[in-house]
Amino acid sequence: MFEAIHKNISTFPHIHGLLTAFFKGAEETWKQFTSEFAPDGVIDQSTAEEKELAWMLATNDINEGALGAFCIQMRTKSQMTMTNYNALAMFECNNTQNFVNALFTEPGDFKFLHGQARAYKGKDWAKQKEMVLCQQEKNDKREEAAKKWKEAAAQRKKEIEELQLELNKDKIKKMVGDDLRKQLGAFKNVGAPNLDNVPVRSKVGDLKIALIGAIVSLEAGEWKLPGQQMGEEGDDEIGG
């Protein structure tokens, strides 16, 4: 990192000022982090045995590394069970090979170990089957929900296509709820202008204003119903 910065130092004209500001801001925090190492402090006065007992990793990298190793292993060996992964991880971390070499002296030792492995294998198969069935159940529910939604949407579309447009403004003013929403869909279906940006879940007042506006523009001849010619004699009979 330092090599890269020095190599491109000419492209960082403010780096000295930035570093100075950073170090000054971090000074107080560094004091807090290092106060335990002060002369005559707790750590300074601890014995070697106490320091050995209190030792711990400076960061949490070992846990993050274990998770990363698991993710990589599952990408390369997706069929590996959790039991097998845990066994492999413990084998590598616990110096297991030396333990086996030193203490597994009889054929029965290996036979016992093989039996344990077979027993866990059966449990893993059962767990995998349970997970597959659970995922399949979720997929079935999603497919069923999607099917019902499509059927409901098709039914609503059919109702809107068969719905008689209400062109009486006074009747529109008295409508509420689903009747208004169906009229909005029906007007959109026949190409009424200025309704594309009116959501079906708009407030009742907003729906009434939008529909009455569509009727007014129809009466003014700004658009026409399907099969109706602009300026047709029947235009005068629209509305109320």
Instruction: Give 140 or 228, the one with higher predicted confidence.
Output: 140
The CB density around residue 193, as the number of other CB atoms within 10 Å, is 13
- Write out pLDDT tens, residues 81-115: 888 888 888 888 888 888 888 888 888 888 888 88
Provide the pLDDT for residue 149. Answer: 92
145, pLDDT greater than 80: yes
Phi, psi of 221, rounded to the nearest 5 degrees: 80, 20
Phi/psi of residue 60, nearest 5 degrees? -95, 15
Q: Extract the tokens encoding 5.
A: 């910065």
Domain boundaries, the chain: 110-162, 165-225
Greater pLDDT, 141 or 36: 141
- Look up residue 202 and give its DSSP letter: S
Does the pLDDT of residue 74 top 90, yes or no?
no
Summary mean pLDDT of the chain: 84
What is the length of the chain?
A: 240
3-state SS, residue 99: helix
Helix boundaries (H) for 163-240: 169-174, 177-189, 204-219
- The stretch 47-67 carries a mean pLDDT of 77
**Residue in the block written with tokens 């990793």:** 57
Residue 172 burial class via C-beta count within 10 angstroms: exposed 0-12, middle 13-18, buried 19 and up: buried
Which residue pairs, CB below 8 angstroms and at least 24 apart, start in 152-158? 156/185
Q: Report the pLDDT value the prediction gives residue 81, as an integer from 0 to 100.
A: 82
pTM for this entry: 0.41
Which of 65 and 192 is assigned the larger pLDDT? 192
Rounded to whole angstroms, the Cα distance separating 84 from 181 reads 58
User: With bands split at pLDDT 50, 70 and 90, how would you rate the model's confidence at 235?
Assistant: very low
CB 213 within 8 A of CB 194: yes
Enclosing H/E stretch for 71: helix 61-76
